């Protein structure tokens, strides 16, 4: 009788004891490939496309800032008598056309162009940083999806096993070799596993909507199953990562450019201490007078200059303001650099922690839990272990498997975080 009762349980044992990476097997037509997903994000994400357009627009501002101010064309009636408003009454009456061209002090336009060029570079770095952040979000959402898929697979496998447990304890109870509490425990464990599956499917729908938003697809568009490769041993030092971030991180490059731009603004403020000027020409046409006196036309030349009369209150204060802002920008850059280093340290710590946990679970904890479950099954078959101990062994192995896949997901998410911070791929 015992052999008949335990035969289904022994047949399901290989399914429960699948190695972690054997559980990753997916059919090719249902696999969501990470590289393809990232490519979709880079080509279809509306926020990234908007950022690119902003950079394109910023490049057009350079020539605008380097161009001369627009000239002024004037049409004037000169010295028109109010008693008759006649053009041929007074010798000083005339019709005038003039053209005036303002000129900023030499060097100002070049500095304005440099400032606009720096703004465009900052916009480009911000676009690249947004691209890095979107790739990071995509990878992290992908590995969250991986965890959910593996958790669902593990839950479904455990449901099948628990169903067999229910049948076995019911059979033992019906022949007088079991107790009703074991039947209730098995049924409760199965119900909890079904409830867990429903919650996991709800979580998957949320992650699926998140990924679809990144690729500009409907929230309910179906996605294939995510997979993860075995983490490769990596040795990284914080100093190396910080140096890499300093040379390749878009966010640090943007702040460096902003610091450089603040220096350009100081130079422009110093130039503003010198006056702008303007040059113009005018032509005045006069009619022949009523008394027969001929009216000769006039040509005039004009030159004007702005006088920095309130230098101490305006131009000098502007220089002080830009220098203070330059100092502030340098401090802000240092703060960002320190934050990047701190986040790199935290991510590197998470990376190492999860790598060690993966090795520990793969080589120690899970194999030991599998052997413990095998022993409990054998002991239960021989009436040496009670059902509660068997169930506890099974649920413990189940939780270890979930923890393992969570460590794999967290490891890959830490890699994505480091890649985003340094601006390079591993």
Q: Do the strands 94-103 and 298-305 form a parallel or antiparallel pair, or are they unpaired?
A: unpaired
- Region 340-357 average pLDDT: 90
Token representation of residue 168? 């076995």
The tens digit of pLDDT for each residue in 125-182 reads 999 999 999 999 999 999 999 999 888 888 888 777 777 777 776 666 666 666 666 6
Q: Say how far apart CA 329 and CA 123 lie, in whole Å.
A: 17
Find tokens 């993860």 and name the residue. Answer: 228
DSSP string, 274-297: SPPEEEEEEEEE-PPPTTS-----
Any bridge partners for residue 78, and if so which?
94
Q: How high is the pLDDT of residue 367? A: 85
Nearest CA to 236 out of 418, 409, 358, 407 is that of 418
The tens digit of pLDDT for each residue in 190-213 reads 788 788 888 888 888 899 999 998
Distance of CA 232 to the CA centre of its chain: 25
Whole-prediction pTM value? 0.82
Is the confidence at residue 26, as pLDDT, over 90? no
Q: Say how far apart CA 283 and CA 78 lie, in whole Å.
A: 11
Percent of the chain with pLDDT over 90: 39
For the ranges 28-37, 222-231, 241-250, the one whose mean pLDDT is highest: 241-250
Find tokens 């005045």 and name the residue. Answer: 284
Burial (CB count within 10 angstroms: exposed 0-12, middle 13-18, buried 19+), residue 41: buried
Q: How high is the pLDDT of residue 265? A: 93
- Region 59-88 average pLDDT: 89
Token representation of residue 209? 């909507």
47 close to 134: Cβ distance less than 8 angstroms: yes
DSSP character for 31? B
Find tokens 């793969």 and name the residue. Answer: 362
321 close to 269: Cβ distance less than 8 angstroms: yes
């Amino acid at each position: 009788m015992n052999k008949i009762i335990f035969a289904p349980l022994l047949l399901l044992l290989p399914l429960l004891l699948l190695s972690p990476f054997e559980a990753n097997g997916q059919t090719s037509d249902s696999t969501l490939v990470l590289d393809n997903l990232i490519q979709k994000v880079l080509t279809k994400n509306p926020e990234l496309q908007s950022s690119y357009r902003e950079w394109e627009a910023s490049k057009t501002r350079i020539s605008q800032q380097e161009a001369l101010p627009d000239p002024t064309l004037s049409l004037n009636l000169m010295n028109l008598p109010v008693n008759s408003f006649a053009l041929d009454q007074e010798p000083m009456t005339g019709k005038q056309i003039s053209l005036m061209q303002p000129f900023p002090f030499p060097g100002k336009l070049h500095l304005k162009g440099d400032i606009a060029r720096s703004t465009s570079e900052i916009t480009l770095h911000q676009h690249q940083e947004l691209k890095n952040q979107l790739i990071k979000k995509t990878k992290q959402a992908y590995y969250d999806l991986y965890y959910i898929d593996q958790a669902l697979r593990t839950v479904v496998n455990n449901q099948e096993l628990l169903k067999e447990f229910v049948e076995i304890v019911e059979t033992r109870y019906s022949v007088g070799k079991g107790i009703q509490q074991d039947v209730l425990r098995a049924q409760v464990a199965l119900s909890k596993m079904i409830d867990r599956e429903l919650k996991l499917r709800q979580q998957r729908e949320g992650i699926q909507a998140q990924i679809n938003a990144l690729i500009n697809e409907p929230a309910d568009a179906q996605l294939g199953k995510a997979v993860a490769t075995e983490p490769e041993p990596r040795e990284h030092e914080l100093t190396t990562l910080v140096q890499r971030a300093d040379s390749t991180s878009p966010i640090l490059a943007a702040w460096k450019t902003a610091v450089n731009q603040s220096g350009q603004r100081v130079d422009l403020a110093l130039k503003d201490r010198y006056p702008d000027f303007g040059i113009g020409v005018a032509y005045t046409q006069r009619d022949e007078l009523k008394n027969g006196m001929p009216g000769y036309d006039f040509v005039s030349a004009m030159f004007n200059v702005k006088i920095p009369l309130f230098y101490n209150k305006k131009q000098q204060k502007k220089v002080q303001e830009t220098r203070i802002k330059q100092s502030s920008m340098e401090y802000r850059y240092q703060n960002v650099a320190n934050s990047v280093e701190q986040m790199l340290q935290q991510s590197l710590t998470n990376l190492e922690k999860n790598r060690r946990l993966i090795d520990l679970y793969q080589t120690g904890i899970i194999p030991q839990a599998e052997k413990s479950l095998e022993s409990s099954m054998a002991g239960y078959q021989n009436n040496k272990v009670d059902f509660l101990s068997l169930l506890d062994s099974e649920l413990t192995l189940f939780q270890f498997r979930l923890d393992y896949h969570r460590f794999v997901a967290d490891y890959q998410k830490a890699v994505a975080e480091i890649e985003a911070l340094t601006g390079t791929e591993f």
